């Protein structure tokens, strides 16, 4: 029997506010001393009064709009009750039946196959404290507790690990464009939980779903879901039951393991948060937030194709990251629109190779758009050769030196001047009588060989096209 995979994703993104969700403690906790960004509100002391951070609400509204959601006219906060050492109050302030946004969607694209994945809801809640597990106890750092956290829940409409990865990358990219979150997966600013189940194709009933946690990269999400879909198929095949449970992904081992048994929604005993009055979001407010929507990745990709004549794939890669798209447009601004394709080649080729090999982000590299623009202009004018350009970008990558300085330091200026190379050509003709007679006998390759010899004699500075032209002339034409 053939089975299909059904995946739903829950993403939690920390919002990039200055203060926490319900108190004015500093939200930038990554470098802070443990328990130094804590007050009675986020510590969950009795009798305190939380107050809603307006910016967090507006960031969630902006995200909901970007994800094609309906922004709720009426929304409120609720208490989700459970006991765990990372939860100071014994409940988490979250949203239950009236989330800020609902009924949205985003488009994924697997090898040109576009598919709309519906988004159930976008809601706001507070992050929990960070636990450091030791052998017999845990250490608790409350700095993270109370940070604004936005949860984005997809419908169970994702049908493969590839689709799940693309959904996440698209969502990640949109949130980065909006500037509402750092979306750093390693430090947990952008976290993903997945619900995954399988069922016989054609069957409408859902089977027991497994929640997978602890996936800290796009790759981990892909691998964990790949593993889990195989594990579940194997279990069914061998007649073993699949339990509804939470499983954690172990990156080093490449497998998921059973964690705690999950409480069900009833057990959370949600009820309206009495300390926080409800929010009424009117049309004027929504319109004001809508005005803040920037050009989103999908629109920018299409514009790159239309405006610069890029290939869809290249445009897609460039616009996948806000920084890379900005970088590209800066290069084009400096080098000219007609050189957009050359800029794409350099950014996606040599520059990306250097960035990936060293694990550097495009925002941190010493190679600035000015460098790329100079390199494109100079190769276009034949001032430097292709190989010389590669040398330059590598040198800039390490030192940040200007293109001009590197050309001068390394003497990389391409020699286009005939008189400078004529002597070398004459010498090459004298030194290679065999090649000359081969050429005269009709062997084209012999000419390439001699051209190569001349270029080599100039340490790569001679323009091969110019050399070849002069050679043909010297040898009395073809």
Partner 1 sequence: MKLSHEQVKHIARLARMGLSEAETEKFRSQVSAILDSFEVLNQVDTTDVPAATHSIPLQNIFREDEAHASYPQEEILANAPEREGSFFKVQSILE
Chain residues in the site for partner 1 (CB under 8 A): 17-19, 24-28, 33-40, 43, 51-57, 76, 81-85, 132-134, 136-142, 259-261, 263, 267, 272, 274, 276-280
Maximum CA extent, the chain: 99
Measured from the CB of residue 275, what is the shortest distance to partner 1 in angstroms?
A: 9
Backbone angles phi, psi at 255, to 5 degrees: -150, 165
Distance of CA 271 to the CA centre of its chain: 37
Measured from the CB of residue 28, what is the shortest distance to partner 1 in angstroms?
A: 8
Question: How far is the C-alpha of 25 from the C-alpha of 406, rounded, in Å?
Answer: 49
> Which CB atom, from 52 or from 407, has the smaller least distance to partner 1?
52
Is 120 strand, coil or helix? strand
**Parallel, antiparallel or unpaired: strands 190-200 and 130-133:** unpaired
Measured from the CB of residue 13, what is the shortest distance to partner 1 in angstroms?
A: 16
Question: How far is the C-alpha of 26 from the C-alpha of 36, rounded, in Å?
Answer: 9
Question: How far is the C-alpha of 410 from the C-alpha of 460, rounded, in Å?
Answer: 11
Closest CA to 223 of 197, 244, 260, 252: 252
Measured from the CB of residue 262, what is the shortest distance to partner 1 in angstroms?
A: 10
> Which CB atom, from 28 or from 70, has the smaller least distance to partner 1?
28
> Which CB atom, from 25 or from 373, has the smaller least distance to partner 1?
25
> Which CB atom, from 171 or from 210, has the smaller least distance to partner 1?
210
> Which CB atom, from 46 or from 476, has the smaller least distance to partner 1?
46
Contact criterion met (CB below 8 Å) for 108 and 118: no
CA angle, residues 461, 462, 467, in degrees to nearest 5: 170
> Tokens 């506010």 correspond to what residue?
17
Measured from the CB of residue 135, what is the shortest distance to partner 1 in angstroms?
A: 8
Measured from the CB of residue 84, what is the shortest distance to partner 1 in angstroms?
A: 7
> Which CB atom, from 140 or from 448, has the smaller least distance to partner 1?
140
Question: How far is the C-alpha of 116 from the C-alpha of 104, rounded, in Å?
Answer: 10
Measured from the CB of residue 266, what is the shortest distance to partner 1 in angstroms?
A: 10
The crossing angle, in degrees rounded to 10, of helices 54-66 and 283-290 is: 70
> Which CB atom, from 54 or from 437, has the smaller least distance to partner 1?
54
């Amino acid at each position: 029997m053939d089975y299909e995979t059904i995946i739903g994703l829950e993403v939690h993104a920390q919002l990039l506010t200055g203060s926490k969700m319900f108190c004015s403690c500093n939200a930038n906790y990554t470098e802070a001393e443990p328990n130094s960004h804590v007050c009675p509100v986020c510590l969950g002391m009795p009798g305190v009064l939380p107050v809603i951070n307006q910016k967090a609400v507006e960031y969630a509204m902006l995200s909901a709009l970007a994800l094609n959601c309906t922004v709720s006219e009426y929304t409120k906060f609720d208490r989700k009750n459970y006991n765990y050492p990372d939860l100071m109050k014994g409940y988490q302030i979250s949203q239950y039946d009236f989330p800020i946004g609902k009924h949205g969607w985003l488009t994924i694209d697997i090898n040109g196959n576009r598919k709309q994945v519906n988004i159930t809801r976008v809601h706001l809640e507070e992050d929990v404290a960070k636990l450091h597990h030791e052998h017999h106890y845990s250490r608790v750092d409350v700095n993270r507790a109370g940070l604004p956290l936005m949860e984005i829940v997809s419908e169970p409409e994702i049908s493969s690990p590839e689709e799940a990865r693309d959904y996440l990358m698209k969502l990640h990219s949109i949130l980065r464009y909006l500037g509402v979150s750092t979306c750093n997966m390693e430090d947990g600013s952008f976290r993903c939980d997945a619900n995954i189940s399988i069922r016989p194709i054609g069957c409408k009933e859902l089977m027991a779903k497994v929640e997978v946690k602890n996936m800290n990269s796009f790759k981990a999400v892909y691998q964990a879901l790949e593993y889990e879909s195989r594990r579940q198929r194997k279990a069914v095949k061998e007649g073993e039951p699949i339990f509804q449970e939470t499983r954690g992904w172990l990156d080093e081992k490449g497998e998921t393991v059973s964690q705690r048994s999950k409480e069900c929604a009833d057990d959370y005993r949600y009820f309206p948060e009495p300390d926080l009055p409800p929010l009424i979001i009117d049309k004027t407010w929504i319109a004001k937030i809508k005005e803040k929507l920037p050009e989103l990745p999908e629109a920018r990709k299409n514009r790159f194709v239309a405006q610069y004549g890029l290939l869809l794939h290249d445009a897609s890669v460039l616009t996948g990251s806000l920084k890379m798209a900005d970088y590209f447009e800066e290069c084009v601004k400096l080098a000219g629109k007609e050189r957009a394709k050359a800029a794409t080649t350099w950014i996606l080729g040599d520059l990306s190779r250097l960035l990936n090999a060293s694990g550097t982000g495009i925002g941190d590299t010493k190679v600035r758009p000015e460098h790329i623009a100079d390199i494109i202009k100079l190769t276009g004018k034949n001032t430097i050769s292709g190989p010389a350009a590669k040398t330059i970008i590598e040198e800039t990558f390490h030192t940040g030196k200007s293109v001009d300085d590197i050309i001068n330091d390394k003497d990389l200026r391409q020699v286009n001047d005939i008189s400078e190379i004529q002597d070398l050509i004459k010498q090459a003709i004298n030194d290679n009588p065999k090649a000359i007679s081969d050429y005269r006998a009709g062997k084209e390759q012999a000419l390439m060989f001699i051209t190569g010899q001349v270029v080599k004699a100039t340490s790569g500075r001679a323009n091969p096209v110019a050399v070849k032209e002069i050679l043909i002339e010297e040898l009395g034409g073809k």
